[in-house]
Structure 1
């Protein structure tokens, strides 16, 4: 537990052989549940995660869930979220299975939620000066462009580094999101931000360390990312605007129903002192 709150770490993984074991092994001891979601990997990612749990004598804390077919990183995270809710945790954290997220940053993600200051906290690698020397230039450009677009479509103008997947969410906020409607692949974080805004959730950015080792290789290809994300952003923006319109219409309908009643209600005459 962390500050009297039960914590689950959701680890989506696809072909992370050689990385997943170290990721599982470095999850802090205060985490109650480690949920590895193997998205139909073609290697032995799931087996390595299970072996890592056995080596640390933590088979009860680590659970490996397997998708029979590849459904996408967003769908894998959703599977982890559902399991976390079923386990009754208070906060669900997402960490990548490739060791790209520093477990020492986990308290920074949890503290705003534990203090009651946020419902969803996401990492922002651009708050760390090391990003300019560690993240490849092409990814910096892509992140800046997508972050700017996500500011507009999500409604969270203060949020940056939209593609950073290191996040924490309170179970109450998670239960208010229609998980089945979330985009299942690489546009998932952009879609989630928009839906959180529609639900009135408070979102915070916190500094996290960017990690790009010599052996690191992104699973995101330009075709995978650029093809769906503009459509996801447009869909998310449309969903947010439509929700705002529906709320306004309902509000006007309520006012229209109340106004005639107010006009016909008798007003008592003032009594003499």
Structure 2
């Protein structure tokens, strides 16, 4: 089926998931909307996050999408179940795939999670991890400064390193923690600096690859895979200023031929 896959996020972070979807599913057209105007979602009340999430979803449903990916951990934590219960298309979040990847990676049975205030407050990751492996040890830390920094386009350098180092001081003291889940899709954009601060012995887990693999499986099971050979024309939308959104998009996708791409501003 040549209908597009819809992807939503609070801002630019979900582009890390989109990149992996493009790589693993090169025939699929993607329509992405990032709510850059109202980002970040992490400090917002659950009711507000759900309202904003549904506004993005309704925008994508008008595009006749065949599957929805919630590429925002906060929206996944607060709205995924409701979306799955009310939509007649497959809906996938990023928390369960990230939890599975972390379980595979850990050797010490101690996993750390960093995310927005909303994601950490929801305890969605500890619940997901313990549903897979009951005796797992979990340390969680909210990092509210990361998303605003990324949305400003500050992805590396002294300022980024200082913010990340200060934010991760507490969780970096857990000696036997060998795996850290980047529990926000913005965080892979600053992954190199996070790795530098945490040290080479800690494996960083992004849910992007696992989410793309699960998307492929779901499309296959539901007979929704696109079999057309033509190059897809991906559409990206942002609710706020396009300058930084476009800059980050170009930095992620510029070296690869992953289809045609248009970027537009939208009101929802």
Which structure's relative contact order is higher, taking Cα pairs within 8 Å and 6+ residues apart?
2
Larger strand proportion of the pair:
2
TM-score (norm 2): 0.31
Highest Rg: 1 or 2? 1
